[in-house]
Amino acid sequence: MKEGVIDVLMYIFSSYADQDENLPEDREGIEADLRAAGFESLEIDKAFDWLDGLAQAEDDSGNDQSTNAIRVLAAEESARLAYSAQGFLMFLEHAGVLTPRLREMVISRVMALEAATEVDIDELKWIVMMVLFNSAEEQDENALMHYEDIVFADQPAVFH
């Protein structure tokens, strides 16, 4: 059911991320919009749970990690991320797009999808973008806009 949940998340993000004036003011309004778009209640509920987990992860202070540390994925994490997605995640961290804390949030959100299938690079891009926009105070707005262009326009990932 991961595909349904990720589809709901992508719809929410692409529909509401830049629309402050058109954003429904409550969860029920967003849920009504999602039902009107054809999403099922179970998928919608799981997507809201995923977003609640993202907000909780943002509130958790977590341990600071050295930027010199190397992160090795656990077997379960490695099984959930396609090989190309693992490489892309590493690239984003080395390029300075993700801090170690944000990397951990991304991995946590991947694992929270509760699915047996792999998360591919395209799905990972959306998850990273949601984490970055949720943690916008840590990010340079130009980097966020550039990353959004990469996801929405399928441009090659080139960071300066």
> What are the φ and ψ backbone dihedral angles of 155, each rounded to 5 degrees?
-80, 155
Q: What pLDDT, on a 0 to 100 scale, did the predictor assign at position 21?
A: 47
* Mean pLDDT taken over the chain: 79
Which of the residue ranges 36-45, 70-79, 134-143, 147-156 would you say has the lowest mean pLDDT?
Answer: 147-156
What is the pLDDT confidence band of residue 76, given thresholds at 50, 70 and 90?
very high
> In DSSP terms, which residues pair with 81 in a beta bridge?
119
Sorting pLDDT into bands at 50, 70 and 90, what band is 110? very high
Q: Which of 11-15, 79-83, 104-108 is the least confident region?
A: 11-15
Q: Note whether 134 and 106 are within 8 A (CB).
A: no
pLDDT at 57: 76
Residue 152, pLDDT score: 60
Single pTM value for the model: 0.78
pLDDT at 80: 93
User: What separation, in Å, do the N-terminal and C-terminal C-alpha atoms of the chain show?
Assistant: 37
CA angle 137, 82, 9 (to 5 degrees): 45
Q: In the predicted model, is pLDDT for residue 138 greater than 70? A: no
Question: Is the Cα torsion angle 108, 110, 113, 116 positive or negative in sign?
Answer: negative
Name the DSSP letter for residue 118: P
pLDDT tens for residues 14-64? 877 666 544 456 788 889 889 998 899 899 999 899 988 888 877 664 556
pLDDT tens, residue by residue, 62-72: 556 666 677 88
- With contact defined as beta carbons under 8 Å apart, do 89 and 103 qualify? yes
Please report which helix (H) or strand (E) contains residue 24, including its range.
none
Question: Could you give the C-alpha distances from 125 to 9, 81, 88, in angstroms and in order?
Answer: 12, 12, 9
Q: At what angle do helices 27-36 and 41-59 cross, to 10 degrees?
A: 140
107/66: higher pLDDT: 107
